[in-house]
Amino acid sequence: MSSKTPYKVLCVCLGNICRSPTAEVVLRYFCEQQHLNIRVDSAGTSNYHPNKAPDERSQKHALKRGYDLSSLRARQLNVQDFIEFDLILAMDNENFDNIQTLQHQAELKFGKNKLRAKIALMSEHDEIYKQQALPDPYYGGANGFERVLDQCESSSRAWVNIFKNELAV
């Protein structure tokens, strides 16, 4: 384990109970597989489900692929996150816009040069789902939850390649 400060990534969706907890655990798995010194966390732009465990359906579908989401708890994105994290990954374009709005508030509060976080789409470098929104599965069926896992795995592979090539972590 490197003694250097880890690079910190925050996965963000609306509720922090379906997409971003899945992205958190999948991205962490791919980073650990490559022994990257990266911390991964997740949050929601809303405060709809504070301190709730991930949606049962997300947990069930993830566990079938070996990803355990059970210990995660939802929290809302806050201005401090723009200081704490290096990279904030939005699951869809609406999340991206809401993250940017909060970033402006963080700039006003702390000053622009105090903020570290860059914002990008989860699918930014994904070859299969390139810059596509990660569809919200909350009001849909089982296929939506499988799609979230497929896309999180594909996008995480792409990010890990970026991290390996561009970061000394």
Which of 110, 138, 147, 150: binder of ligand 4NP (CB under 6 A)?
138
133 closest CA partner among 143, 146, 145, 121: 121
Is 86 annotated in the active site? no
* DSSP character at residue 76: B
Residue nearest to ligand 4NP (CB): 15
- Bridge partners (DSSP) of residue 39 are 8
19 classed as catalytic: yes
Instruction: Tell whether residue 19 is a contact of ligand 4NP (CB under 6 A).
Output: yes
- Which member of 11, 18, 19, 41 is catalytic? 19
Q: Which helix (H) or strand (E) element contains residue 153?
A: helix 142-166
Binders of ligand 4NP: how many residues, by CB under 6 A?
A: 10
Choice between 29 and 138, CB closer to ligand 4NP: 138
Catalytic residue among 55, 81, 92, 136: 136
Find the Cα–Cα–Cα–Cα dihedral 100, 150, 35, 24, rounded to 10°: 40
Q: Does 149 bind ligand 4NP (CB under 6 A)?
A: no
Query: Cα separation of 48 and 17, whole Å?
Result: 9
Q: Is 156 an interacting residue with respect to ligand 4NP (CB under 6 A)?
A: no
Catalytic residue among 13, 18, 31, 152: 13
Q: Does 12 bind ligand 4NP (CB under 6 A)?
A: no
Q: Is position 116 annotated as part of the catalytic site?
A: no
- Strands laid side by side in the 118-121 sheet: 38-44, 7-13, 87-90, 118-121
